[in-house]
Amino acid sequence: MTVAPNQVWADDITYIETDEGWLYLAVVLGLFNSQVVGFSMQKHMCSSLVTDACAWHDLGEKERWLAELRKKSA
């Protein structure tokens, strides 16, 4: 049982078939409130997939990711 945010995280890796090949998705959840605290999507399943998902929360990557998403959709 967690009594505060960022005490216990859980993660999962899944893969998604796309027209360009496989896309790997790692998601990190905070067990305090079950919120997504980080994620990473890459074309390969290397250790950076998980470390990037963990760093997403710590480094404020949410804003960078949203900016990249906006740029791609423009």
Burial 29-54 (b: 16+ CB within 10 A, else e): bbebeeeebbbbeeeeeeeebbebbb
Greater confidence (37 vs 6) lies with 37
pLDDT in tens, 13-68: 999 999 999 999 999 888 888 888 888 899 999 988 888 888 766 555 566 666 66
* Phi, then psi, of 27 in degrees rounded to 5: -125, 135
pTM of the full predicted structure?
Answer: 0.69
In this prediction, residue 69 has a pLDDT band, given cuts at 50, 70 and 90, of low
The CA-atom distances, in angstroms, between 54 and each of 11, 30, 72 are: 9, 11, 23
Sorted by where each begins, the domain ranges of the chain are 9-73
